[in-house]
Structure 1
Amino acid sequence: MNERAFVMIKPDGVRRGLIGEIVSRFEKKGLKPVYAELKELSEETARTHYQHLKEQLFFEDLIQYITSGPVFAMIVEGRSAVANARALIGPTNPVKAPPGTIRGDYGSDIDENVIHCSDSFDHAGMEIQLFFGKTGMLQKL
C-alpha cells in the first residue's frame, strides 16, 4: 500500500548543493516527490519540530543549526514510504551509516547529518501539517 512520508534536507545539505542528488535517490528508490518547498524555518517551527529533544544539552545548538539557512522540505509517496525512506537515509549518526545511504555518503557528523525523515506514519502526518499546514496530504493511497 502506498503512503506518504515527510523528508527534509537540512541546511548543510542545501548549502552543499545536494538537493538534486538526494531527490534523485528517492526517485530511484521508487518514492515520488509530490510536494516540496525550499524554506527558512522559524524558530517557533524548529522548536515545535524538535520538542521531543528539548531536555537535551544540545537542543539550543540544534535550533540554531536548523534555522541557519534554508531547508528543502518535501513529501514523498510510494510503497511503505516511511520505512523505505528511512532505509535510504541511514542511521542518524553518519559515522555509523553505511556507504550507499544518504548520511553515509554525505553526512559529516551527528551535528550536520544532511537529512531528516519521519520515523513513523503518524509522525509524518504531524510533520506535514507543521511544515506545510496542509491537511489531508497524508492519506494512504
Structure 2
Amino acid sequence: MALCRTLGLLKPDITANPVFLRQVLAQIHDHPTLGIVHQKAVQWSAQDAQSFYAEHRGKFFYQRLCDYMTSGPFMALILEGPEAIRNWRNLIGPTHPIRARLSQPHTLRAQFGLTDTRNSFHGSDSIDTALREIKFFFPELQL
C-alpha cells in the first residue's frame, strides 16, 4: 500500500497545555500506521488565519475560528502512512467534541476538544486538500 501524507494541526488549546501536548504526541507516536515526518510551531496573524480559512468566509463560525487560531501558538504536522488522511481523521474523531464523547470516546477530540470551534485538531479531508494545506504550512518543502 502506498504511503500518503496529510496535514494535522494541534490547535492553540493543546499546545498551551504541556501535559495535553505530551499526551497527544504520545498517542500519535504510538499509532501503528501514522508517523510525524515534519512539524513546526506556528503563530498566526489575523491575515494568516483569514487566508487559510477563506473557504469559510461568510459562515457564522468564521470570525470565531480565526480568533481562536490567532489566540496562541499551535503545531502543524505532516503525518505519513498508508491511508494517512483517513487514519488521522479517525484518530481525531468527529468535529464536534460532544458528539465524539458520545459516539467515539477514544478519539482525541473526545478526550481534549472543548467546543465545535475549539475542537483542538484539524485534519485534511482529501488528497488535494492535504497537498494544498501542507504547501500552506511548509512552502519550503518539495512535495
TM-score w.r.t. the length of structure 2 is 0.90
Task: State whether structure 2 residue 20 is matched by structure 1 residue 14.
Answer: no
Separation in 2, partners of 1:115, 1:134 = 23
**8 A Cα contact 1:13 1:19, kept in partner:** yes
Residue 89 (structure 2) aligned to one of 83, 86, 89: 86
Amino acid at match of 1:119: D
Q: Where does structure 2 lack aligned partners over 5 or more consecutive residues?
A: none
Amino acid at match of 1:7: G
Aligned-pair CA distance for 1:39: 1.4
TM-score w.r.t. the length of structure 1 is 0.91
1:18-29 residue pairs with structure 2 within 5 A?
A: 18-29=20-31
Separation in 2, partners of 1:128, 1:38 = 14
1:59-138 residue pairs with structure 2 within 5 A?
A: 59-97=62-100, 98-137=104-143
Residue 54 (structure 1) aligned to one of 34, 54, 57: 57
Task: State whether structure 2 residue 3 is matched by structure 1 residue 2.
Answer: yes
Q: CA RMSD in A?
A: 1.2
**8 A Cα contact 2:61 2:117, kept in partner:** no
**8 A Cα contact 1:89 1:103, kept in partner:** yes
Amino acid at match of 1:9: L
Separation in 1, partners of 2:140, 2:87 = 23
Separation in 1, partners of 2:49, 2:111 = 25
Number of corresponding residues: 137
Amino acid at match of 1:24: A
